[in-house]
A = this chain, B = another copy of it.
Amino acid sequence: RSLATNARQSLKIGMIPADGIGHEVLPGAKAALQALGSSIPKPEFIDLLAGFEHFTKTGTALPEETVEALQKDCDCAMFGAVSSPSRKVAGYSSPIVALRKKMDLYANIRPVSSVSPSPGEQPDVDLVVVRENTECLYVKDEKQTVGPHGKEARATRLITERASRRIGEMAFKIALNRPRKHLTIIHKSNVLSITDGLFRETVRAVPALSGANGQYDSITIAEQLVDSAVYRLFREPHIYDVMVAPNLYGDIISDAAAALVGSLGLVPSVNAGDMFVMGEPVHGSAPDIAGQNVANPLAAIRSAALMLRHLGYGEGASRIERAVDEVIREGRCLTPDLGGRSKTTEVVEEVVKHI
């Protein structure tokens, strides 16, 4: 089974709103997908459970049935957002981190761009964070012991050649399809010479290992320590095109980049593997505004477009993306995070009209 196939009669999409505003933004993604008509196979939505709220009710954050349904019945999925307990809760473990690993969604791809005043103009910020999505400190191999001076906790940070190579390949492929063809490797190998050393050397070796000699010759490669990458992101964001990073650095720099374009409520992502893709807005579950119909649905809607693109439905993806860009450019119908006064559902209607 190939991810990008046109042989589908229908597109079966697992819908996992999870927590908080996840329940309010996923309907936006659904409406946008439905508005595409014959640009894509007829979407069929399959509602699936997960999340911290689900955990507090049932003791399970990610039900086995959800994973099975994704694996057996779905072509792709959309995830909303998860809440984090404010205190340690025995037995709870983040369902999104688990899903990424269980479905082997090894790349978290987060394009961050500002909308230029007119279409076709170069935006100020136009970058993609390509975040490794399965290892680093996210292997969650932690334990606590008691030493002579009290409690001691240790976590393992795992970086493998295999995961670094495949995220590197993904990053090179993405860079090749962008006008600037520039790739920055984010690391901290001045401190972590072995783990981040392996990451950076493996990514650098991708062109040599890729087999197709010279296919990546047009790409320029740079490196940046994660601390100064965050600094430079704020000072000179235009220097970045594609940024490839181990899991935790990718988590942090994508939030940093999101700050540059006005709101986390605009930044989409896909969790992508070779066999499956799951759209997910970069924002969290925002308990402070949940249930008020004011959450920005644009990140979720854009995530649906990204998901389509990864499935090979570029035309459908572009129609959604253009509609979102126009709504932002017009500035008439925006949620409060962007200085507007519109409701979530109004913004969704506006986008649907533009599709």
CB–CB A256/B234 < 8 A: yes
CB–CB A94/B157 < 8 A: no
Interface flags for A329-341 (1: CB within 8 Å of B; 0: not) read 0000000000000
Cβ-based interface call for A226 (8 A): yes
CB–CB A231/B259 < 8 A: yes
Q: How far is B161's CA from A201's CA once the two chains are assembled, in angstroms?
A: 35
Given the contacts A149-B160, A149-B162, A160-B149, A231 and B248 also touching, CB distance less than 8 Å: no
Q: How far is B248's CA from A165's CA once the two chains are assembled, in angstroms?
A: 25
Per assembly, the copies of the chain total 2
Which among B137, B147, B191 is the interface contact of A97 at CB below 8 angstroms?
Answer: B191
Cβ-based interface call for A252 (8 A): yes
Q: How far is B233's CA from A160's CA once the two chains are assembled, in angstroms?
A: 32
Q: How far is B201's CA from A258's CA once the two chains are assembled, in angstroms?
A: 29
Contact residues in B for A197 (Cβ distance below 8 Å) = 88, 153
Q: How far is B238's CA from A207's CA once the two chains are assembled, in angstroms?
A: 45
Which among B88, B189, B259 is the interface contact of A189 at CB below 8 angstroms?
Answer: B88
Q: How far is B259's CA from A256's CA once the two chains are assembled, in angstroms?
A: 11
Cβ-based interface call for A295 (8 A): no
Given the contacts A155-B156, A161-B149, A194-B144, A256 and B284 also touching, CB distance less than 8 Å: no
Given the contacts A94-B190, A94-B191, A161-B151, A252 and B230 also touching, CB distance less than 8 Å: yes
Given the contacts A191-B138, A192-B142, A231-B264, A154 and B153 also touching, CB distance less than 8 Å: no
Which residues between 138 and 191 of chain A lie within 8 Å of chain B, taking CB atoms? 138, 140, 142-144, 147, 149-162, 165, 188-191
Interface flags for A233-250 (1: CB within 8 Å of B; 0: not) read 111000000000000100
Q: How far is B93's CA from A190's CA once the two chains are assembled, in angstroms?
A: 8
CB–CB B256/A198 < 8 A: no
Which residue from chain B places its CB closest to the CB of A235 in the assembled complex? Answer: B259
CB–CB A230/B256 < 8 A: yes
Which residues between 200 and 250 of chain A lie within 8 Å of chain B, taking CB atoms? 201-202, 223, 225-228, 230-231, 233-235, 248
Distance (whole angstroms) from the CB of A243 to the closest CB of chain B: 14
Distance (whole angstroms) from the CB of A188 to the closest CB of chain B: 7
CB–CB B255/A193 < 8 A: no
Cβ-based interface call for A323 (8 A): no
CB–CB B142/A195 < 8 A: yes
Contact residues in B for A193 (Cβ distance below 8 Å) = 88, 93, 140, 142
CB–CB A157/B160 < 8 A: no
CB–CB A159/B153 < 8 A: yes
Given the contacts A160-B153, A252-B227, A255-B227, A194 and B234 also touching, CB distance less than 8 Å: no
Contact residues in B for A94 (Cβ distance below 8 Å) = 190-191
Q: How far is B174's CA from A131's CA once the two chains are assembled, in angstroms?
A: 36
Cβ-based interface call for A345 (8 A): no
Contact residues in B for A227 (Cβ distance below 8 Å) = 251-252, 254-255
Given the contacts A142-B192, A156-B156, A192-B137, A225 and B161 also touching, CB distance less than 8 Å: no
Which residues between 250 and 299 of chain A lie within 8 Å of chain B, taking CB atoms? 251-252, 254-256, 258-260, 264, 284
CB–CB B198/A144 < 8 A: yes
Distance (whole angstroms) from the CB of A167 to the closest CB of chain B: 14
Q: How far is B197's CA from A144's CA once the two chains are assembled, in angstroms?
A: 10
- In the A-B complex, the 8 residue pairs with the closest CB atoms: A150-B161, A84-B190, A234-B259, A142-B194, A149-B162, A151-B161, A231-B255, A227-B255
- Beyond known contacts A154-B159, A230-B255: 8 more, CB 8 A cutoff: A94-B190, A94-B191, A151-B161, A153-B198, A155-B157, A226-B252, A231-B255, A234-B234
